[in-house]
Chain A
């Protein structure tokens, strides 16, 4: 939408490069001649003419000076127009057009036609139509206002020019939309907006008139005579940097201010201007200094430095040339981030890694190193079939390399493609003529330093193309507008393989016949649903589907297409009171074919991926009765929005689930005539189950069932900062991919949707997909995992101050390691599979990988290649921190680097130590064999990495690895650190003990292995601390059993004796059998002491065994297997595991 598109950039750069843009503007008279397609003058046509300027939408209607009527000779003229910048619209009945008049010659011919019409539907954020929105072409020629349905139509586009459409209404942020593919309809959403007004003041505090003020270095306005300026409405919450520069003044002035737009009324902004450097070229920005080195020889390289503000590198600028030492300096670079590339005098050198990204956040970037390496180059010329050089034709080449490069022939028809990195590859060169006929040339394989010269590409023999004309009509013969036609050539591949055309408002089209052949016709219509998304709708071709084209012969064809083929499902889901329900909608079209239908930010489920075979729509929501909808009866595929009402569950006794769900009678005949009936019938059970207000039933070891009353499903998410303060504006990125990965990477362009809530309570779903990432300016991006329910239906999400992690990866020789994969933790255990799904990014040419806006806390990143040079780093990031970490890649042999050792142990895939011990004898032996300083380094690394044990679900075995190594280290300091970690471990919120497999229990085990009986006081204190959760208290009690000592038995006896009389505790007995004592210990350990109340103390069924030596025993209680060990008269629980689900 308000993207600063490439053309705008060119214009802006041109303006900035000049001493004064105004000085270049020459006002004069623009005269045009309106003609029809036959070249005949068109009199009495309405002609409108303005100065072209697409900075902002026009808010005023056209003035009389901007309007005229063509005379008998089709002429119209306008005075006071900026020459070369005129923008003209012509209307003559159904004919018309839009024309950029950039030439200065008089009587500029404007050939009008029918062109295309597109209907624009403007709505507000709640989906309501917005009336009286002023629509303008390129923001400067108004063409209408929206009606009460929010509809306005732009006509005749594609004749002359297809403008961008701008929409403005007071109180709303302005919007714009492009019209690719001649869409039939376009949907525009206007958000609440606010005008930004301000004043420019000079160093003396006086207003400064006639100053250009730019908005985020993009669009600009000019201050008036009183120094005041005004930007039209922009979205509330958006951030703008306003920059004012007055370079034509003596002395020059400039100033800058950054503002966040708030709800109206908004305070006026003041830009204080100060003395600026004397030349506009030196006005501001960062300085980049660096050098270009030959990566093979480390010698400096003479090269030109190209700079772009985007990694797409579409519009690079030559910014600097290196000196003899390879050094270069680029000053006054604007923006936060730029990309550099070197073009060496020696054509075979290429930039390693393609582009070098430079972060300008600190307003300077020193020591940028661009490395170039020996590659290859191609040179040649393009000739006509007769051998004449062809200038200004684009030469395409494949493989293209890391970024797009446009190569054009010189006036002599010559071209050069330097700096290719495809050593060992073959290149395919191609050129196309205006009819898209292609000539290709294969070159290669290329050797290092190879320059292939004198390559010749001969264009196809020139032909005077014949034209295919025709009309697109529906089955009733009615012309169909905006149908995109594709004529696909049958037979062996040749270029062009397809011809394309689009029908105008009268259904007519024409296309040059580029070659002979039999063609298949396909037809599509386009409806743009959002500025970045469009739906292509198939129009089956009933006539004109296959025919012959012959070069050189004009032809006509009539294409008959079916109209009712727009297949779009749209539905909303509500409950019986009309409240929106968070549902899941699936398209079922086979036993195992189940397509998820995504939901947009407005709660509409929409799909164009509609199967051709029989299908049904399944709508389900927890605690609601599901619905199955049938196309054609329950909903239409034409985009008509269907509102699905779900009844609250459960299904009452006597109600057929089939009937309730499908709306069809519960008879064999109805089932037989229902598509996918077998599938639906099999799903009846889950529909019944899902509709229940299901209580949470959990088992605890003593046989009780803990029945939690049914809790309301999450309906809102409370988003707060670390201090609990509500965050009133959040950014939501809907996801269909791994949330953990997405939370570490920048959001995809256009995927982030801002949402505001004055109380910080946001209704769910936040995004259009099951998963989403939530963030806010200055806060980290956090995956939102919705809980099923909570006591008040609200889930709290805490956003923490964001952190930045910059990894510098160095090669063995200490030089930057470019292209090194940085991956999710699992890559350190399993490597990267074919899909590379675990890879986050590769290091750039400087060996850097940068992660921004990530959440603080312990993190694991895998760096390098699995089984080669991989290391996993485990930094603990603090809120707001910008952490820099250097990873030194190493030869593995004889390395004592702790990170390398840990990785070798990861890759060794050693069997797990014998449970419950975490100790591994092999590690212990290897650690003992290390020199003392290496052991110390390993201890330090392990200590620093221990916080990863607090990550709830790290999805790797790193916690086990760390615990195993910690145990093998035998170091008391590590044990003390582990005690600290034990106290920080998150506890299970449900109150159901996680038994021996909990992280707390694993940590406790290692503490016992390192400390022995010295850990008894620590665990006794933890076990009796009723402020701690049951999980860690249980782990502390299990530690007594693992210690299996007199001291631990005494500690347990003290705790046990103190617990008699507590709710659920068994009564103390005078004498015990082993089974009785074991059962008592189990209940005390697993339930009573950790604080699970209400335990029935007797009469529970148990099954116990005692081994022959009376030292160990096993007890089964309600499917929990409990291992015990005896110390004198005490049976201590050492392990407890949930048995298999029966």
Chain B
């Protein structure tokens, strides 16, 4: 089992990070910003942060996407985005705003994540485990140690959907980093899991990811290898 970890290659995890804005786009038609918001945009940003939040990803000019605008805004935009995130009148745009916040790695974002993560953990229904994963991923970018701490604590203390989130996060990190410690931790978690749906799903996903990585490995092989092999066969 352990050997397989060493042959692992990077598995794209961007999908999860991309999920909030993409999902939000489909609901765009039902999102209504507060009345008169255009007149209350935060000064100092071109284009205004609020405009990119309202119209981002709607097939407008490329310059209106949050990702394109963030470098122009600089870290000052974090405060504006956090305020919007926490403004109930902008509640419909939270996922889109978060996709903007995660573009920055500042202490302010770290504090924001700590606070939101703590709030998220308190939610017992946890209908949106992806949200927890987003916070985790972002924290890993800013402070990997703190993120590890969250996972360790989560694997120890949490249950239900929260626990699953931490297990799958560990799995993904094992494939991404090739880190033997992470892989060992995953093996340990796997072994400690009782027979059941979660264990079955985790095993199946690990197998699929391993098959993928074998396939992808072939693509990076020099072509001459197979050509020489085929020549050998023909001889």
**B contact residues around A455 at 8 Å (CB):** none
- Range for the number of chain B residues in contact with chain A: 35 or more
By the criterion CB–CB under 8 Å, are A668 and B35 in contact? yes
Q: In the complex, which residues of chain B have a beta carbon less than 8 angstroms from the beta carbon of A1072?
A: 222-223
Residue ID in chain A nearest B220 by CB atoms = A1073
Binds B, one of A46-54, A550-558, A865-873, A1074-1082: A1074-1082
Closest to B223 in A: A1072
Q: How many A-B residue pairs have CB under 8 A?
A: 99
Tell me if A1027 is interfacial: C-beta within 8 Å of chain B.
Answer: no
Residue of B39, B215, B219 with most partner-chain A CB within 10 A: B219
Scoring A residues 1085 to 1113 as 1 if CB is less than 8 Å from chain B, else 0, what string do you get?
A: 00000000000000000011111101001
Partner of B55, one of A689, A1073, A1104: A689
A38 at the binding interface (Cβ < 8 Å): no
A6 interfacial contact with B, CB 8 Å: no
Is A653 close to B, CB under 8 A? yes
A299 located at the interface, meaning its Cβ lies under 8 Å from any Cβ of chain B in the complex:
no
Whether the Cβ atoms of A697 and B22 lie closer than 8 Å is no
Given A692-B61, A697-B59, CB of A685 within 8 Å of CB of B218: no
User: A1071: which of B12, B38, B59, B222 is its contact (CB, 8 Å)?
Assistant: B222
Q: Are the CB atoms of B35 and A658 closer together than 8 Å?
A: yes
CB-based nearest A residue for B31: A685
Task: State whether the Cβ of B32 lies closer than 8 Å to any Cβ in chain A.
Answer: yes
Least Cβ distance of B201 to chain A in Å? 23
Within 8 A of A (CB), among B1-57: 12, 18, 22, 28-32, 35-39, 41, 47-48, 51, 54-55
Q: Is the CB of A682 within 8 A of B30?
A: yes
Cβ-neighbour of B219 out of A659, A705, A1104 (below 8 A):
A1104
Bound together, the chains give a CA A1074 to CA B223 distance in angstroms of 5
User: A653-B38, A656-B38 known; A685 and B54 CB under 8 Å?
Assistant: yes
Contact B39 A1128 (CB under 8 A): no
Is A684 in the interface zone, CB < 8 Å from B? yes
List, in ascending order, chain A residues with CB within 8 A of B215's CB. 1105-1108
State how many angstroms separate the Cβ of B53 from the closest Cβ of chain A.
12
Which positions 1114-1134 of chain A face chain B at CB distance < 8 Å?
1128-1129
| CB-based contact A688/B59 at 8 Å | no
User: How far does the alpha carbon of A828 sit from the alpha carbon of B59 in the complex, in Å?
Assistant: 39
Which residues of A516-539 have CB atoms within 8 Å of chain B's CB atoms?
none
Q: Does B181 reach chain A (CB closer than 8 Å)?
A: no
Q: Which residues of chain B are within 8 angstroms of A692 by Cβ–Cβ distance?
A: 60-61
The B contact surface, by secondary structure, is helix
By a CB distance below 8 angstroms, the chain B residues around A671 are 35
Say whether B221 faces chain A, with CB atoms less than 8 Å apart: yes
Which of B12, B29, B216, B222 contacts A1105 (CB under 8 A)?
B216
User: Does B204 lie at the interface of the complex (its beta carbon under 8 Å from any beta carbon of A)?
Assistant: no
In the assembled complex, the CB of B147 is this many whole angstroms from the nearest CB of chain A, namely: 25
Contacts of A688 in B (CB 8 A): 55
Q: Residue A666 at the B interface, CB < 8 A?
A: yes
In the complex, which residues 682-698 of chain A have their Cβ closer than 8 Å to any Cβ of chain B?
682, 684-686, 688-689, 692, 694-695, 697
B219 with A1071: CB separation less than 8 A: no
Chain A residue at minimum C-beta to C-beta distance from B55 = A688
Tell me if A681 and B59 are in contact (CB < 8 A): no
Secondary structure type dominating chain A contacts: mixed
Taken together as a complex, chains A and B put the C-alpha atoms of A694 and B64 apart, in Å, by: 12
Please, which residues of chain B bring their CB within 8 A of the CB of A705?
Answer: 62
The answer to whether A666 and B221 touch (CB under 8 A), given A654-B41, A682-B29, is no
Contact B58 A658 (CB under 8 A): no
Q: Contacts A689-B55, A1105-B219, A1110-B226 given; indicate if A666 touches B36 (C-beta within 8 A).
A: yes
Q: Is A787 an interface residue (CB 8 A)?
A: no
Determine which of A651, A681, A1078, A1113 lies in contact with B35 in the assembled complex, contact meaning CB atoms within 8 Å: A681
B58 adjacent to A685 (CB under 8 Å): yes
Could you tell me the distance between the alpha carbons of A1078 and B58 in the complex, rounded to whole angstroms? 33
Residues of B within 8 A of A697 (CB): 59, 62
* B223 and A653 contacting across the interface, CB-CB below 8 Å: no
Interface size class of A (residues with CB under 8 A): 35 or more
**B208 on the A face (CB < 8 A):** no
A657 within 8 Å of B by Cβ? yes
Q: Are B60 and A1073 in contact (CB under 8 A)?
A: no
Q: How far apart are the CA atoms of A654 and B41 in the complex, in Å?
A: 7
Contact with B along A646-682 (1 / 0, CB 8 A): 0000010111111100000011100100000000011
A144-187 interface code vs B (CB 8 A; 1 in, 0 out): 00000000000000000000000000000000000000000000
- Output the nearest chain B residue to A672 by Cβ-Cβ distance: B35
Q: How far is the CA of A793 from the CA of B222 in the complex (A)?
A: 53
- B127 adjacent to chain A (CB < 8 Å): no
B221 touching A682 by the CB < 8 A rule?
A: no
The CA-CA distance from A1129 to B225 in the complex, in Å, is: 11
User: Is B58 a contact partner of A689 (Cβ separation < 8 A)?
Assistant: yes
B224 near A1110: Cβ-Cβ < 8 Å: no
Contact status of A653 and B48, CB under 8 A, knowing A682-B29, A689-B55: yes
**Quick check: A1074 and B39 within 8 Å, CB to CB?**
no
- Please judge, given known A-B contacts A655-B38, A685-B54, A1104-B216, whether A1077 and B223 are in contact too, CB under 8 Å: yes
Contact A1071 B226 (CB under 8 A): no
Closest residue of chain B to A666 (Cβ to Cβ) is: B36
CB neighbours (8 Å) of B31 from chain A are 685
Contact with A along B136-148 (1 / 0, CB 8 A): 0000000000000
Query: What residues of chain A lie closer than 8 Å to B29, measured between beta carbons?
Result: 682, 685-686
Q: Are B219 and A1078 in contact (CB under 8 A)?
A: yes
Known A-B contacts A689-B55, A692-B61; the reply to A667 vs B35 at CB < 8 A is yes
Evaluate whether A667 and B36 lie within 8 angstroms (CB atoms) in the complex, with A682-B29, A685-B28, A1071-B224 already known.
yes
> Smallest CB–CB gap between B214 and chain A, Å?
8
Q: Which listed residue (A656, A1075, A1129) contacts B39, Cβ 8 A?
A: A656
Measured in the bound complex, the distance between the Cα atoms of B51 and A1078 in whole Å is 41
Contact: A1113 with B219, CB < 8 Å? yes
Cross-interface CB contact of A1073 among B35, B219, B227, cutoff 8 Å: B219
- Closest residue of B by beta carbon distance from A1077: B223
- What A residues does B227 contact at CB under 8 A? 1128-1129
- With most chain A CB atoms within 10 A of its CB, the pick from B47, B58, B61 is B61
A1074-B218 in contact given A653-B51, A654-B41, A685-B29 (Cβ < 8 Å): yes
Q: Shortest Cβ distance from A279 into chain B, in angstroms?
A: 77
Residues of B within 8 A of A (CB): 12, 18, 22, 28-32, 35-39, 41, 47-48, 51, 54-55, 58-62, 212, 215-216, 218-224, 226-227
Nearest 7 pairs of A and B residues by beta carbon: A666-B36, A1075-B219, A1106-B218, A1104-B219, A1105-B215, A656-B38, A1110-B226
In the complex, 28 of the A-B residue pairs with CB atoms within 8 angstroms, ordered by the A residue number, are A653-B48, A654-B38, A654-B41, A656-B37, A657-B38, A666-B38, A671-B35, A681-B32, A684-B32, A685-B31, A689-B58, A692-B60, A705-B62, A1071-B223, A1072-B223, A1074-B218, A1075-B219, A1075-B220, A1078-B219, A1103-B12, A1105-B216, A1106-B219, A1106-B221, A1107-B215, A1107-B218, A1108-B218, A1110-B226, A1142-B18
A sample of 15 more A-B contacts (CB under 8 A), given A682-B30, A1073-B222, is A653-B38, A653-B41, A653-B47, A666-B36, A666-B39, A667-B36, A685-B28, A689-B55, A1071-B222, A1072-B222, A1074-B218, A1074-B220, A1074-B223, A1107-B215, A1142-B22
